[in-house]
Structure 1
């Protein structure tokens, strides 16, 4: 018998101390690299985008993959790759932790569009405020002490 699934995760993580160490000119190559990690883990990437200090990913998560391992692999492998690249010389490492939210198929287009428009969105809102809004909208308890 086949198993069926539909597990959409909106994942957000940022650079260490939210420093602007992801040069916009090299975002596409970073996103392609992360897409390769997602495909290797039998996931489907629906959208990836970000700014100089954080990334948003909307992807399917294969049921054989643990979310924490998935995020750890994306962050660890991309960290190693960026440090070996001349294009990310200011990059130190990813910040500890991440934000992961689940969504249903009805929300998919809304989240894809939200992620597509990150650069425009962040002309008027800082990452810290965006993350707080996401947490509040999703009724997630959080403590400022651990957030930044």
Structure 2
């Protein structure tokens, strides 16, 4: 018997203390690197993008991979890479924690556009407002003290 599943994860995590440490001119190098980490774990990434203080990842994980383990691997590997590259002098690490939301494959085109348009999107919605909106849309209870 075979097992089948399809889950799109929308993952969001922030830089430490929300410091704007992701240099815009080199951010695509970072996204390619993170994509490589995801592929190495036999998973698929659909889109990666963000702004100076946080990133969004759309991914489908291999069934043998735990979400928390993949995120830890992404953070550890990319943190080292960011610091060693010399391109991100203001990057001081990733903040603890993350947010992850699941979606249907039918929502993939809209999600990809949403992630692709992060720089434009954040001209009209703050990170805090976006984060709260996503948590509320997914009916996730949160404590304001630990939100961002």
Report the TM-score, using the length of structure 2 for normalisation.
0.97
**CA shift for structure 1 position 8:** 0.9
Alpha-carbon distance between aligned partners in 1 of 2:5 and 2:30, rounded to the nearest angstrom: 28
Q: Which residue of 1 aligns with 2:92?
A: 92
The CA deviation string for residues 42-96 of structure 1, in whole angstroms up to 9 with x for no partner, is 1111011000000000011111001100000001100011111110111000000
Alpha-carbon distance between aligned partners in 1 of 2:105 and 2:124, rounded to the nearest angstrom: 28
Alpha-carbon distance between aligned partners in 2 of 1:18 and 1:122, rounded to the nearest angstrom: 14
Q: Which runs of 5+ in 2 are unaligned?
A: none
Alignment of 1:6-85 (within 5 A): 6-85=6-85
Report the TM-score, using the length of structure 1 for normalisation.
0.97
Alpha-carbon distance between aligned partners in 1 of 2:17 and 2:59, rounded to the nearest angstrom: 25
The answer on whether the counterparts of 2:79 and 2:94 sit within 8 Å (CA) in structure 1 is: yes
Q: Which runs of 5+ in 1 are unaligned?
A: none
Alpha-carbon distance between aligned partners in 2 of 1:59 and 1:28, rounded to the nearest angstrom: 17
Alpha-carbon distance between aligned partners in 2 of 1:39 and 1:86, rounded to the nearest angstrom: 24
Alpha-carbon distance between aligned partners in 2 of 1:98 and 1:116, rounded to the nearest angstrom: 19
Task: Supply the RMSD in Å over aligned alpha carbons.
Answer: 0.9
SS at match of 1:36: helix
